[in-house]
Structure 1
Amino acid sequence: MDTLNNETSELLYKQLANIIRNDIFEGRFKQDERIPSEFDLSHIYKISRSTVRKAISLLSEEGLLVKIHGKGTFVASPKFKNSSSTFLSFTENVDAMGKSLITNTISRYYETATPDQKRFFQLDGAEELLKIIRLRSIEALPICVETTWFTKDYDSLLTKNLNGSLYSVLRKDYEIEPSAGSKTIELCYASAQEAELLDVPRGSALMLVEDYVYDSYNKPLHITKQVVRGDKFKYALK
């Protein structure tokens, strides 16, 4: 059983949400299946019920869980299907705005996968992931620092021209199509690197968008973190 780590900076409710999310992705919790109660999860992971409640609330907002009064919390059905209320991608949003998007690749290198990343990519041991950092600008104004992680199955991306659509490269070179996953949006604060790239003061409030994406074969494709200037850009719904 996965355990929570009290010595990491990651909040406990987010750690629990990651565990439950991974259990859903890997089929340990099926569609329409009731997950353990707040009391049981609190007992299993030795945390407060309020912490459990925050984790369930987060996954409910992602559309992975649904709470039914008097019955409990269930895995949502259908699972991982895009709906009319899913968010448009960054590129689609910019296209909808009628603006020009410029992408510059900042760096790409391998780094050791975190426990959460290992769970998503179903890795064992001290595996490394390819990390790609790109700066995305609209009409020459820096808007988004985008960080994407892939397994070594996609190591040719180390040498590809990624100053355009990353999905176009995946379709052309790997015949891979992104299909489903989850998206979370929350507030974050600019690190030193993000502040420099986005030309904002360090510690500025920014929008953090995280995607866990599967391909059309339901295999883990990538994790992407976008740090976005919310004062200059807004996500739209389909």
Structure 2
Amino acid sequence: MKQKLPLHKQAELYLRNLIEQDEYKEGKMLPNEIELSEQLKMSRNTLRQAINTLVSEGLLIRKRGIGTQVAEKNIASEATNWLSFSQEMALLGLEIENFELHISKQPPSKEARDFFSITEETRVLKIERLRGKTNFPFVYFSSEFNPQIPLTGMENFNRPLYEILRNDYDIIVKTSREEISAAPANDFIASKLEIETGDPILIRKRAVSDKNGLPIEYNIGWYRADSFTYKIESVRNITNKE
């Protein structure tokens, strides 16, 4: 006798079939949990378990106060040759929107203080930006800048940052040391990225230096995990002994 699938697996299978329909791929919101649970004749907790599975796989995205819909194809970044965020998005043919821009002078974070070799009493220029595709913010950036460079905060930051540094101040960035980690979103980041507190995010830290080795920028980006993939290609050295 064939064993019946558990209820949450039945719901998961139903949702996988549902999101393959063209209307949902084109952005239509899924029915709300109450409607779906009544339709499937199961509890909302069981249904939510199935939805959480598809969210963790990057197939669905939740928008706080709006609902759940099919995720668009992930944005992918490759580590073979590092690029600025604007350059990465331009290569993918994506038009990027700035949803928020905050500029301030603040004491440096510990990471920025260590990178720039400055004291905690020194104030640094800090730029925070919420960015993403049209009507879909997916990353919150925080950048701190070495006080040795002449950025004032009065620049037009609708222009790409590294273009400003190169064209306005003859600063050419060259090296980026990066660190990628995963974490649950805190209340602040969740509110910015329109996700639930505790939903998975990717944290991307960059320590950027110019062509002369001078530390320029310490940057942290908090990305929606359902909208960003980071690809790494490594080349192995082969010795004569192998």
The alignment covers a number of residue pairs equal to 156
* Structure 1 residues 184-225: Cα deviation after superposition (integer angstroms, max 9, x where no partner): 100022222221221111222100000001001110000000
In 1, Cα distance between equivalents of 2:132 and 2:120: 37
Residue 180 (str. 1) matches residue 180 (str. 2): no
* Structure 1 residues 9-39: Cα deviation after superposition (integer angstroms, max 9, x where no partner): xxxxxxxxxxxxxxxxxxxxxxxxxxxxxxx
Which entry has the higher C-alpha Rg, 1 or 2?
Answer: 2
Counterpart of 2:110, as a letter, is: P
Structure 1 residue ranges without an equivalent (≥5): 1-82
Q: Which residue is 1:12 aligned to?
A: none
Deviation at 1:87, TM superposition (A): 4.5
In 2, Cα distance between equivalents of 1:191 and 1:225: 15
Q: 2:186 is matched with which residue: 182, 186, 191?
A: 191
Query: CA contact under 8 A between 1:88 and 1:235: conserved in structure 2?
Result: no
Q: 1:119 is matched with which residue: 114, 120, 124?
A: 114
Query: CA contact under 8 A between 2:79 and 2:231: conserved in structure 1?
Result: no
Q: Which residue is 2:226 aligned to?
A: 231
Whose RCO is larger (CA < 8 A, sep 6+)? 2
The runs of 4+ residues in structure 1 deviating greater than 6 Å are: none
Q: Which residue is 1:101 aligned to?
A: 96
What SS does the aligned partner of 1:158 have? coil
In 2, Cα distance between equivalents of 1:139 and 1:237: 27
In 1, Cα distance between equivalents of 2:134 and 2:110: 38
* Structure 1 residues 117-174: Cα deviation after superposition (integer angstroms, max 9, x where no partner): 2221011352122111001111331011011001334464411121231111111221
Q: 2:85 is matched with which residue: 87, 90, 96?
A: 90
Residue 219 (str. 1) matches residue 210 (str. 2): no
User: Cα distance 1:84–1:131, how it changes in 2: closer, same or farther (>3 A)?
Assistant: closer
Residue 146 (str. 1) matches residue 141 (str. 2): yes
In 1, Cα distance between equivalents of 2:85 and 2:120: 33
Q: Which residue is 2:70 aligned to?
A: none
What SS does the aligned partner of 2:228 have? coil
Structure 2 residue ranges without an equivalent (≥5): 1-77, 234-242
Counterpart of 1:132, as a letter, is: I
Query: CA contact under 8 A between 1:186 and 1:209: conserved in structure 2?
Result: yes
What SS does the aligned partner of 1:228 have? strand
User: Cα distance 1:102–1:214, how it changes in 2: closer, same or farther (>3 A)?
Assistant: same
Q: Percent identity?
A: 22
Deviation at 1:107, TM superposition (A): 1.0
Q: Which residue is 2:161 aligned to?
A: 166
Counterpart of 2:215, as a letter, is: P
Deviation at 1:105, TM superposition (A): 4.3
User: Cα distance 1:163–1:208, how it changes in 2: closer, same or farther (>3 A)?
Assistant: same
Residue 202 (str. 1) matches residue 197 (str. 2): yes
In 2, Cα distance between equivalents of 1:197 and 1:154: 29
Matches within 5 A, 1:51-90: 85-90=80-85
Q: Which residue is 1:71 aligned to?
A: none
In 1, Cα distance between equivalents of 2:232 and 2:93: 16
Q: CA RMSD in A?
A: 2.3
TM-score by length of 2: 0.58
